[in-house]
Amino acid sequence: MPERPNVVRVSDHSQAVAALRGQYEAIPAGAPVRLAKPTSNLFRFRADQPGGLDVARFNRVLSVDPDAMTAQVQGMTTYEDLVDATLPHGLMPLVVPQLKTITLGGAVAGLGIESSSFRNGLPHESVRELEVMTGDGEVVVVGPEDDLFRGFPNSYGTLGYTLRLEIELERVHPFVKLRHVPFGSAEECAEVIEAVCAERTYQGEPVDFVDGTVFSGTEQYLTLGSWADRAPYRSDYTGNAIYYRSIQSRRTDYLTVRDYLWRWDTDWFWCSRAFGVQHPVVRRLVPKRYLRSDVYRKIVAWDRRRGFSAKLSKAVQEPVIQDVEIPVDRLAEFLDFFHREIGIEPVWLCPVRLRDRTGWPLYPMDPDVLYVNVGFWSTVDLRPGEPMGSRNRLIEDKVTELGGHKSLYSDSYYEEQEFWDNYNGPTYRELKKRYDAASRLPDLYTKCVLRG
């Protein structure tokens, strides 16, 4: 069988590492270091800057071992390419974030989550080994016993860059059966989330995947997925049909494993409606290859640079694009606050429990607690005189009050001391001193709050 086009030889990887180190050494001492990347899934927009380390050669799968159920993957490899390499072996990563162009390195240096996270944790918890180019320009290989391995998740490229990862894989079945279970209250929904995640069953059937969609305070659904070897039919949400709308109208559904993994990408969850592509007439005219999250994200980036939609709006709008982890027993309280103070709908729910009890110091979650990720991505009209960032600050304060955590891929408004209290400043500073002593890379607060 010919080698797959997205698989590269290990010797080529070594050459790419040597070339990258050469690029780093050519940067003048004291000059800041950054990556030159063609795509991003972050929502902390910055002005375009020339130059940067060229990591284009780090976007391939090195190998897949079907017997050990592991893969060697370069840091800039997208999950779309990784899934294409593993599914022919009947395997997939333990957690596949929802969007096709999220990279392996991005999901580890930042955070990722999906409907298998209630049993498999976060993507960095299935990493066995990391090869990192640190802020000092050194290339190190670290594992679970090393401080950099533990401190890398939630460091967002401020300690170094992932060059290669060894990750665990799990076996797949051809199909996923979905059950969309409705609930009239957040309290009832939270109770079932907790029970299903503890028992991994619902009404006598196994549950392998759990996520949820909140359309309003009185209309919410849990989608419970289970592996299936056969399917009486196969739904297709890559064209005219829209997946999230099916949740309201169907109680049972079947998808191929590939379509299940990318069910949210076609419409960027529900955010594609802002571009008009959910209108039936427009939908039929748009080529399927453009119905992708990375296309929509490029449109948003263009709009942020040009300010086009802001000029059209009669109100001042604040982007509220966040994912937060809330303890399951405080979920109803958070959703009540969110409907009252923010008002964005729909909202995504995804339960997560850590696999690894040793912990990840820069994003400290209690391994004994089941959390629910709440995702919301839209804009809110500000009241007259209300400052930009006020709604995000409300959310940040509420998340802290409820014992939760906030991901840092988008805008943050924390005061500096509050930020370091939430994200373990003392441990971060020790790691920074050890692996980026000259501060060639921005620190975490500068990058995530000040957008440096």
Tell the burial category of 333 from Cβ atoms under 10 Å away from its Cβ (0-12, 13-18, 19+).
middle
Q: How far apart (Å, rounded) are the C-alpha atoms in residues 197 and 121?
A: 12
Which are the contacts of 372, defined by CB distance < 8 A and separation ≥ 6? 190, 193, 325, 326, 327, 328, 331, 349, 350, 351, 352
Query: Within a domain: residue 435?
Result: no
CATH number at residue 146: 3.30.465.10
Q: How far apart (Å, rounded) are the C-alpha atoms in residues 165 and 142?
A: 10
Query: Within a domain: residue 163?
Result: yes
Query: Within a domain: residue 69?
Result: yes
- What percentage of the chain exceeds 70 in pLDDT? 92
Q: How far apart (Å, rounded) are the C-alpha atoms in residues 430 and 69?
A: 35
Residue that has been written with the tokens 């976007």 in this structure: 59
Q: What is the CA radius of gyration of the chain?
A: 21
Q: 367 near 353, Cβ under 8 Å?
A: yes
Q: Quick one: pLDDT at residue 4? A: 42
Query: Within a domain: residue 242?
Result: no
Answer whether residue 334 shows pLDDT above 50.
yes
Q: Is 195 in a helix, a strand, or coil?
A: helix
Higher pLDDT, 307 or 34: 34
- 121 is in which domain, residue-wise? 10-172+441-448
Q: How many CA atoms lie within 13 A of 444 on its CB side?
A: 33
Digit-coded pLDDT (tens) for 350-409: 999 999 999 999 999 999 999 999 999 999 999 899 999 999 999 999 999 999 999 999
Q: Over range 205-231, report the average pLDDT.
A: 98
Answer whether residue 5 shows pLDDT above 60.
no
Query: Within a domain: residue 264?
Result: no
Q: Quick one: pLDDT at residue 35? A: 77
Q: Quick one: pLDDT at residue 412? A: 94
Q: How far apart (Å, rounded) are the C-alpha atoms in residues 335 and 349?
A: 10
User: Angle, nearest 10°, between helix axes 331-341 and 186-199?
Assistant: 140
Among residues 197, 217, 189, 213, which one has the least CA distance to residue 263? Answer: 213
Q: Quick one: pLDDT at residue 11? A: 76
Q: Quick one: pLDDT at residue 9? A: 62
Mean pLDDT of the chain: 92
Count of domains observed in the chain: 1
Q: Quick one: pLDDT at residue 302? A: 81
Q: How far apart (Å, rounded) are the C-alpha atoms in residues 429 and 435?
A: 10
Query: Within a domain: residue 166?
Result: yes
Q: Quick one: pLDDT at residue 301? A: 81
Q: Output helix, strand, coil percentages for the chain, rounded to the nearest 5.
A: 35, 25, 40
Q: Over range 48-74, report the average pLDDT.
A: 88
Query: Within a domain: residue 3?
Result: no
Answer whether residue 432 shows pLDDT above 70.
yes
Q: 403 near 102, Cβ under 8 Å?
A: no
Among residues 271, 363, 288, 293, which one has the least CA distance to residue 41? Answer: 293
Furthest C-alpha separation in the chain: 65
Query: Within a domain: residue 131?
Result: yes
Higher pLDDT, 28 or 307: 28
Answer whether residue 241 shows pLDDT above 50.
yes
Q: 198 near 207, Cβ under 8 Å?
A: no
